[in-house]
Amino acid sequence: MDVRRAAERYQGGEQAAGITTRHAFSFGPHYDPDNLRFGALIACNEERLAPGAGFAEHPHSHTEIVTWVVEGELTHRDSAGHETVIRPGGVQHLSAAAGVRHVERNDAAVPLVFVQMWLAPVRTGGEPRYTAVPALPDTTPYAVPEAAAALHVRRPAAGERTRLPSAAHCYVHVVRGEVRLNGERLGPGDAARITGAEDLTAQAVTDAELLVWEMADRA
């Protein structure tokens, strides 16, 4: 298990434009050849957008983009004609496939916080696809078959234990609260990269919210 602390994330975004980003992996000008990916996961960005701030239209291809809204409202528009507003507890999945353009904005009057995760697909090409789930239950993982992966959301109360999926690669990101995992105490923004996860449980020190990726071995 490789623990990466919140303070180790790369600082990004454009604060003058109301955008603050913390990158868990090598991203853009923050190139780190030893931190390019874990399993299928190639990005896990904590994004904070001030009211009225956002990312202008930009392209993506050959990437599975999954977004979890923590606070506020995320407005999404793309070149395939989709326009949605995602609120806390909602998950959005843009399968960029051969190519798509999109806009992400905070059109609300309150700050927006979300976690955006990028995964490498098993196969490239195809037609773009968009899915939005307004409220993802803890008991229902969100499958991303294009990347041989599934996202689990766990919200254990203080003192509760939650079982992690057994998988070739398991990535745990703490959204809020604190948990103990395999002898380590993890807080907001901390993450654990677990290879060969089996029979592991996380115990909540406080009420907590976790994003857990279950990823198959594609080697």
User: Tell me: the pLDDT tens digits for 126-178?
Assistant: 899 999 999 988 889 999 999 999 999 999 999 999 999 999 999 999 999 99
Count the neighbouring beta carbons within 10 Å of the beta carbon of residue 80: 14
pTM (two decimals): 0.95
Residues linked to residue 115 through DSSP beta bridges, in sequence order: 46, 68
- The answer to whether the beta carbons of residues 141 and 150 sit under 8 Å apart is yes
Task: Give the integer Cα–Cα distance in Å for 37 and 29.
Answer: 16
User: Tell me: the pLDDT tens digits for 34-68?
Assistant: 999 999 999 999 999 999 999 988 888 999 999 99
Residues linked to residue 211 through DSSP beta bridges, in sequence order: 153, 173
